[in-house]
Amino acid sequence: MTDVTVLGGGIIGMTAAIRLQQRGARVTVVCAAGTLETVSAVAAAVWYPTHTDPEPRVRRWVERSYAEFLGQAEAGVPGVLLRRTRMLVRADPPWWAPPGTTTTAHDLRFTAPLTEMDRYLPWLHDRIVASGGRFVRRRVEDPAELLDRSAAVVNATGLAAPDPDLYPVRGQLVLVTNPGLDESIRDEDNPAGITYVHPRRRDTVLGGTFEPDRTDLEPDPRQRAAIIDRCTALVPELRGARVLGDRVGLRPARRGGPRVEAVDGPDGRIVHAYGHGGAGMTMSWGCADEVADLVLG
């Protein structure tokens, strides 16, 4: 049995760990913080390949992930929902419309998988443990340190990977009560700021912001007010919805797109898997397939 260490316990590291286990590897996940202290835990976590390039591998990742989430929703995996969604189109339609999309000059309508991360990340964690995986809480400066105990290491450290092409894109969300909505809507190119409303089971996610290179993590009250105003203009039923909280996180964006690449050194193979920007959930399972291929050959 091949021993593999996955460095990073966000959505990218944990989906890779599961794919590796499914292909027979013995997996240890090493992470500096708990599963719910990751950027992945902040995400609205809706399948929407926005701000991605239409390269063949990204197309493969998003399509495979879409199919995986449809199957998980059908199987009743905790936290996985399917929502009808409507995306306003102000310029050209995007490259990634999934099967069943209907398009007009003004919008795209399709079914978007969504993962409620407070339930989904613990489910991924427990699935890894149930298949014999281990979690170790530890900060690691260099993934190569871990090659002394495993044949290969997956570096899924998100924004923490030392790479000059990585940069943060700050995102702020507001959580409010759900006034009975069951369809999501996005107006990404709203000149006043990216705007989206994603109803979940127990709340509604209102977004958002997209600020390259801003790194403070305190919720900005002016941004909160502006998000609520834009979302309420788009969905008037939100008027009067109670604010439940704010979420702020730094998307791990990378010039040139995600780095998913194997590098062989004297002590073994490191497979890098980071830089998924604002679409880590959207690419996760498809990317995990490729990581498993790179690790196990």
Ligand X SMILES: Cc1cc2nc3c(=O)[nH]c(=O)nc-3n(C[C@H](O)[C@H](O)[C@H](O)COP(=O)(O)OP(=O)(O)OC[C@H]3O[C@@H](n4cnc5c(N)ncnc54)[C@H](O)[C@@H]3O)c2cc1C
Residues within the interface to ligand X (CB under 6 A): 7-13, 30-33, 38-40, 42-46, 48, 139-140, 156-158, 160, 171, 173, 208, 249, 251-252, 274, 276-282
7 or 239, CB closer to ligand X? 7
Nearest by Cα to 287 from 263, 259, 264, 268: 259
Smallest gap from Cβ 219 to ligand X, in A, equals 11
Within a 10 A sphere around the Cβ of 169, how many other Cβ atoms?
20
Smallest gap from Cβ 276 to ligand X, in A, equals 4
Smallest gap from Cβ 35 to ligand X, in A, equals 7
77 or 239, CB closer to ligand X? 77
39 or 241, CB closer to ligand X? 39
Sign of the CA dihedral running 155, 69, 172, 218: negative
198 or 269, CB closer to ligand X? 198
Exposure class string for 81-117: b at 16+ Cβ within 10 A, else e: bebebbbbbeeeebebebeeeeeeeebbbbbbbbbbb
Smallest gap from Cβ 160 to ligand X, in A, equals 3
Smallest gap from Cβ 70 to ligand X, in A, equals 15
Exposure class string for 21-53: b at 16+ Cβ within 10 A, else e: beeebbbbbbbeeebeebbbbbbbbbbbbbebe
Smallest gap from Cβ 105 to ligand X, in A, equals 25
Q: Please give the helix or strand (H or E) that residue 85 lies within, else none.
A: strand 80-88
Categorise residue 245: left if φ over 0, alpha if ψ from -120 to 50, beta otherwise.
left
Indicate the Cα dihedral angle 30, 148, 25, 37, nearest 10°: 10
125 or 269, CB closer to ligand X? 125
30 or 104, CB closer to ligand X? 30
